[in-house]
Structure 1
Amino acid sequence: MEGVRLRHGPVHPAPQGSGGVVTTRPVLVRSLRTAALGVVLALTMLLVPNSSVNPTDSALVRVPRAEGVDLSPDVIWILALGSDARPGQSVTRSRADAIQLVGINTRTGAATSIGVPRDSWVGIPGHGNEKITAAMYFGGPKLMAKAVGDLVGIEPDYVMVSSFWGLRHMVDAIGPITISSPVAFSDPHLRPQGFRKGRQQVGGMGALAFSRTRKALLRGDFDRSANQQRTIRAIHAKIRAKQAKPGFIEKGVLAVLTNMDAQVPPAELYRIAQAITQVRPGRITTCVVLGGIGNVGGASVVFPNRSQARRYGHDARKDATIRSC
């Protein structure tokens, strides 16, 4: 597999005179070092045989490559997005609720994920400065790939998108997963009975509630993002327990062709699926792009640390490993 696109575009400064009062304060976003990431939300679709997920719930899009990049041919880069689409809305033209740029080293089994806050204030090609979450709404997965590529310095080979309802169906398809919550919390709408502190089994609806709850958490969106990663780890653990079954990957690829809007050939799907199952938990690193919270035109935004984002991309582009966050 050839290298992926590496963008060297200009770094956009924090907005000045944007029409609203701009204030900033430091935000400390927890970085998970060498934790077992597994795969990001939508990637699990590749490994869920006989899934009942509808094509409208998920999509896999290949991103055109640029020439002359200095990236390892062993690394696959996938931008995994949790779409904020509600039932009946387009999963690829709604705002991106969860944003993870994932690199998988097919030779070593290493993997890394670079998390981007959904409210990061960035330049979106053709649309000026906006929250990065809006890029998919404006121009679909490929524009989202460009926006993330401009920030991190690596544009992905693929963009995989899944709705949160797709998550619910995926978990129901593979059976209950075991999540681990650092705190007890509840949501009166999604899960009135709440979650206790520690390990517990949940089905599809429980996984959805655990991944979507925000207001009950101390750090809001940042804690919700961490819970999404905990859900991902639980799903991956379930998949790893089943991957030795004969035909598991092949059935998973067939499920994608049946239940996902997959705009890539079956051979590419099979290679991605193999790469996911070969990820070694002890060789996984994750980092989140830090920044400051501010206000633009009355809306709360995150001003990302652009030099840090580029450092992550530079560090990981050859071997899918980030040395330090």
Structure 2
Amino acid sequence: MARRNREPDPDEVAAYNEAVREQEEYEETVRRRKRNKRIVIGTLCTLLVLALAAAGVTTWFVGRVSSNIERIPGAFDIPDEQRPPAAGGDAVTFLLGGLDGPDEVDVYEPGAARTDTIMLAHFPDGRDHGYLVSIPRDTYVEVPGHGENKINAAYSLGGPSLFVRTVEQLTDIRVDHLALIDWNGFEQLTDELGGVTLTFDEPTVLADDTTLPPGRHTLDGEQALQYVRERKDLPAGDFDRVKRQQNYLRGLMHELLSAGTFTDFGTMNGLTEAVGQAARVDEDLGAFDMARLGMSMRNLRAEDMTFLTVPTDGTGWAGEQSIVVYDAARADVLWQALKADDMDSYLADNPDLVTGQQVN
């Protein structure tokens, strides 16, 4: 996407500083009324949901982010009878797609790009926890109107609405919002934050063939991009890349929630530009919706997110295509558990699906 970098306007700086002051006064009032109940901003359903839920300076920040982010037209142009019923209560579900073409996020063109990253981020009623479920790109599923195919082909064949419909048909969960992510945009976001710190317990190979030794590393934007893109030299290929992407997002959350991130105007100004570089969202997610979403997630912490991968049954072949075999029996139980807010028992029975803290 085209960059929008510009010098901060003095009036914006003054408005931002005033918003910070008001927020600090508000937080002091909250501390007096509610011991130890600090307002911690947001979550991720990735970068986007975290950033939109960000900081107490909701009016200024959300307004800037909303104006910077481009919209996805027609994401939900699907007959209502072909969609799952809406979730009860205040649960919300985001579908995240990371595209693979050179101009991947700007405009949909048939066949121009596929969704090489697919994540379903679900926040139950009450918003005290979040779950981010990755679906490997080569998972072989039914694409409505196109027969069986790899799930990443849905966007290429029919654009955002077919992508949404395919995931809804697979999961029987209604998608409330869609975000299309450009991993290149995460490079700028990482640099704006001063890097993302990750710890490795063994040598870690990046996509540019460099190797990081064991230990604690603060990855700059380029290193982070090479970390999430590597696949060929990983023992489990795309399965391991999925875990790397989740691990990076978890590290990004910690950086975004760190002290000082939302009280420095220069950092905030850079973040709003970087968010616009990294993602587009559906037309139904307006500035008011972003602010409301942020308020509803104000007590959600980074450690309240659980990252996991949908159950699969190894790899196989469909004609000449190498595919990931979808484990429908276990996956159906997962989707039901998400809808019923019964994930604790499901995860206790399926600990192998959870991405741990140590990902090389």
Q: Which category of TM-score, normalised to the shorter sequence, fits these structures?
A: 0.7 to 0.9
Comparing both chains, which one has the higher relative contact order based on Cα–Cα distances under 8 Å and sequence gaps of 6 or more?
1
* CA spacing shift, 1:258–1:61, aligned 2, 3 Å: farther
Contact 1:91-1:163 within 8 A present in 2 as well: no
Cα deviations by residue, 1:102-150 (Å, 9 ceiling, x for unpaired): 1123624211122211101111111111100011111222211211122
| One-letter code aligned to 1:302 | V
Question: Matched residue pairs, number?
Answer: 284
Deviation at 1:159, TM superposition (A): 1.1
1:307 to 302, 312, 329: 329
> What residue is the counterpart of 2:246 in the other structure?
229
Instruction: Please identify the structure whose Cα radius of gyration is greater.
Output: 2
2:185 and 2:274 in contact (8 A); partners too = no
Please tell me the residue identity of whatever aligns with 2:187. Answer: R
Structure 2 gap segments, 5+ residues each: 1-42, 56-60, 351-360
Residue 86 in 1 paired to residue 129 in 2?
Answer: no
Other-structure match for 1:135? 154
Partner deviation per Cα, 1:2-49 (whole Å, 9 max, x = no partner): xxxxxxxxxxxxxxxxxxxxxxxxxxxxxxxxxxx9542554554596
Contact 1:151/1:309 (<8 A) preserved: no
State whether structure 2 residue 309 is matched by structure 1 residue 288.
yes
Q: How is 1:42-57 mapped onto 2 (pairs within 5 angstroms)?
A: 42-44=48-50, 46=52
Aligned to 2:219: 202
Partner of 2:90 in structure 1? Answer: 74
Pair 1:185–1:255, CA change in 2 (3 A): closer
Tell me: CA distance 1:245–1:168, structure 2 relative to 1, closer, same or farther (3 Å).
Answer: closer
Structure 1 residue 271, shift from structure 2 partner: 2.8
Deviates more, 1:161-170 or 1:201-210: 161-170
Residue 171 (1) aligns with residue 168 (2): no
Determine the structure 1 residue equivalent to 2:5: none
1:223-280 Cα deviation digits (max 9, x unpaired): 11111011000100011115883599x9799759966544232111223344555423
Which one has a larger percent helix, Structure 1 or Structure 2? 2
**How far apart, in 2, do the equivalents of 1:257 and 1:233 lie?**
17
TM-score, scaled to structure 1: 0.74
Q: Hey, what's the Cα distance between the residues in 1 that align with 2:108 and 2:203?
A: 33
Q: Going by fraction, where is strand more abundant, 1 or 2?
A: 1
TM-superposed CA distance for 1:101, in Å, is: 0.6
Structure 2 CA distance for aligned equivalents of residues 89 and 257 of structure 1: 13
In 2, Cα distance between equivalents of 1:257 and 1:235: 13
> In angstroms, what is the RMSD of aligned CA positions?
3.6
Instruction: Determine if contact 2:173/2:335 at 8 Å carries over to the other structure.
Output: yes
Separation (CA, whole Å) in 2 of partners of 1:116 and 1:239: 25
5+ residue gaps, structure 1, are 1-36
Amino acid at match of 1:84: D
